[in-house]
Every structure is written in structure tokens, then in C-alpha cells.
Amino acid sequence: MDGYTLIDYINWRGDLTFDENPFNIVDNVILCELSYVDYTPVLQAGNPEGISFSEAFRRIKELDAFRLLTAGGGDDSLARKAAESRRFGSVLLTYWADVFDQDSIQFSAVHFELDPDVSYVAFRGTDSSLIGWKEDFMMSFRMIPAQEKAVQYLSLSMRQHRKYYIGGHSKGGNLAVYAVSRLSEAARSQILQIFVNDGPGFSPDVYNTAAMDSLAPIITKLVPVYGIIGRLFHMEAARRYIVNSFGKGILQHDMMTWKLKGPEFDCAERFDNGSEILCNAFTAWVANADEEARKAFVDWLFDSLSAGGAVKLGDLGVRDVPDVLKSILSPSPEAKDVVIDLPKSVLSEAGRQAQETLLEHLQQLRSQIAKLKRTDSRKK
């Protein structure tokens, strides 16, 4: 296999504590991945005492209750390796929070205490619930409940004597930035760095982005080569990394597919062309669709997906297809134009980019022909 994985990293660095080898950008991604573990069976909500990660993992396995709540699911391979390591096994889990309402909010966060003075606060990203995905789409036309919950959570769980790294994957990265932007000046001075792992930015039509932009000097953003979600809406950041991946297309959103080069991420210089087409098309669509049109589209999409009674993506089965198709094929008058305009934007952007690529190739060909003619002329 060309490239190394997060598990390879733990094999290399897992015997070193954070005192022996300082916290880094790869540790950030591993902790965000571990935030997707469901700790409900073994952690009490809001408990400042907590337990070590190794102990939490051991108890969960004893109860046969391990669940990785990423959108695509997954096994316990990374969590098991982390629990067995000195680096992650001794980390304390505190202030566990998990809030879910199938009609309004999906929110979860946890503190990883790296040592007596420093914590990493991880906001979980979108899980497999339909409301979690709907919240992601809702950010194009309104603030979402999870953002306010993130502000409350961070304000109540931070302690004056500690320093903090704050981060998250997908929606969790957006929550991290939003929550820090709403802290008092004194509390913000405790933040060492914010990590946004393929998380979307903020629509200027919805948010006063000045507060978020002011955090740019302490924001590090990672987006895979075929980045879609992490490129939705602009976000100022002092450091940006385009990460190569083992995954194909949108599956690169899964952090477990991200490639390492030794103990660091394997990075590229530019995004995939397909990613460019989709992101530019979405940007054009948002610019042309007002708030009501965006809301109508999102309501239509998720009302259709839940038409058969589904609450999670995994609930969608063959039996739901007739109800889902019926709903999809009969959008409301408010949603109909938007449903048509979005694919048109994609096709238009694809055509524009294809034309630009063709012209670029023709220009290169002309240059090569001219160069050959000059060389031939000198020979004569």
C-alpha cells in the first residue's frame, strides 16, 4: 500500500507520551476519530472526573457495546490500538456530552485531558442520523441548534487553569470555530489552536463572519484532495493542508482514509478537478438561491428521505423506496425550481471547466509547436 495510515502512526508513536513527544496535527485527527465512539454506556454526562481512554474502551468491550458513530460506521481497530498505547490509553475522558433529537439536533463532545495542564476538546461531526445531515445543509440558510449547544458546552466546561486545543471533524470543525468565537476574551486566551478537519465554513448571508475570521491566526484546516464538505463556504485559516487519501471521491471525507508520510500527513498541492467542479457549482447555486429557496430545498430533500420512517441513513431500505421516490418526484412549488437549478449549476460548471481545460491544453500545444518550429529553423 502506497502511504501510511493513522494506525501506523500509533504503532510508531504510541509508546511516547505527550510529555515525551508534543501534541501534533496527526494526534488531533486521531482524537477527533475517537470522539465518534459512543461512550454513553460508560461515561456520565458532564462528569469532570472521567476515566482513562483505555479503561473506557475496556468497559465498552466488556459490555459488547462498541459503536463507532461515523456516517459510514466502522470497526474498533483504531480505538483498540489507541487504548493499548501509552500515548492515548492514559488520556482522561471528561465532560462527555451527547444530545440527540430526531427532529432538531445532533450534538456530542468530549474533553481529552492530555496532561494536568492541557486538554483537547473534540466536537463530534455528523453521524449517520438524518437530522445530523440536515443540520449540515441548514447552515446555508440559518444558524443550527448544535452551534448554540456547542457555545454552552464550551463555556460551561472550560476551566481557568487549563489550556485548550479545540477541534472537530466535518460539522464538528464548524462547531469548534463557532463556539470559540463566542467565548469571552479571557476564555479565548486559553485556546492554543483550533483544528478544522474537513469542516465547512460559514455563509456570509447567515453569519456575521468577522468574529470567526478574527480567529484565523489559531486555525489549522485540513481538507482531502477530493474535498467537498470542507470547502463549502469560506473560512479564514493561518494553515491549510490538502491531504492525500486512499479513498475515492466523497469517501475521502472519512479521516481513516487520509494518508501519512512517516509521522506527518502526505499532502498535495491542489484539489482534484472533480472537487473543483462540485464546489464551484455549489457556490454558484448558493449565490443565486435566496434563504427561502435553500430552506425549501433542504426540507424537500430530508422530508423525502424520511418519508418511509427512516431516522438514520442506515434505516433506508428497499421497503422505503416507493415512499421516498414518491416524495422526491413531487417537490413542493417552493422547492421545484431549486431542485432543477442545482444539477443545472453542476453541469454548467463542469462545461465551463472542461472548456477552460481544453483551451489550456490547446495553448500548451501551440507553445510546443512554436518551439519545434524555432528549433527546426535554427537547424536549417
Residue 356 has pLDDT above 70, yes or no: no
Could you tell me the pLDDT band of residue 286, with boundaries at 50, 70 and 90?
A: confident
Residue 95 has pLDDT above 90, yes or no: yes
Could you tell me the pLDDT band of residue 368, with boundaries at 50, 70 and 90?
A: low
Query: What is the percent of the chain with per-residue pLDDT over 90, rounded to a whole number?
Result: 57
Task: Give the pairing type, strands 51-52 and 163-169.
Answer: unpaired
- Please give the DSSP secondary-structure letter assigned to residue 163: E
Helix (H) or strand (E) holding 7: helix 6-13
Could you tell me the pLDDT band of residue 347, with boundaries at 50, 70 and 90?
A: very low
Task: Give the pairing type, strands 51-52 and 267-268.
Answer: unpaired
Of the candidate ranges 32-41, 102-111, 369-378, the one whose mean pLDDT is the lowest? 369-378
Dihedral-angle region of residue 201 (phi above 0 means left; psi in -120 to 50 means alpha; beta otherwise):
beta
Span 192-244, pLDDT tens digits: 999 999 999 998 888 989 999 999 999 999 999 999 888 988 899 999 999 99
| Average pLDDT of span 336-362 | 49
Task: Give the pairing type, strands 163-169 and 118-123.
Answer: parallel
Could you tell me the pLDDT band of residue 124, with boundaries at 50, 70 and 90?
A: very high
pLDDT for res 321 = 46
Which residue would you say has higher pLDDT here, 148 or 359?
148
Asked whether the CA dihedral 159, 160, 163, 169 is positive or negative, the reply is positive
Of the candidate ranges 37-41, 64-68, 148-152, 315-319, the one whose mean pLDDT is the lowest? 315-319
Residue 326 has pLDDT above 80, yes or no: no
- Where is mean pLDDT largest: 118-122, 273-277, 306-310? 118-122
Helix (H) or strand (E) holding 111: strand 105-113
Helix (H) or strand (E) holding 139: none
Could you tell me the pLDDT band of residue 281, with boundaries at 50, 70 and 90?
A: confident
| Average pLDDT of span 298-316 | 62
Give the Cα separation of 166 and 182 in Å (integer).
13
The burial of 54, by beta-carbon neighbours within 10 Å (0-12 exposed, 13-18 middle, 19 or more buried), is given as: middle
Work out the widest C-alpha separation in the chain, in whole angstroms.
86
Nearest Cα neighbor of 110 from 34, 216, 19 is 34
pLDDT for res 334 = 54
Give the Cα separation of 93 and 45 in Å (integer).
11
Nearest Cα neighbor of 175 from 218, 204, 135, 129 is 135
- On average, the pLDDT of the chain sits at 84
- Radius of gyration, CA atoms only, the chain: 23
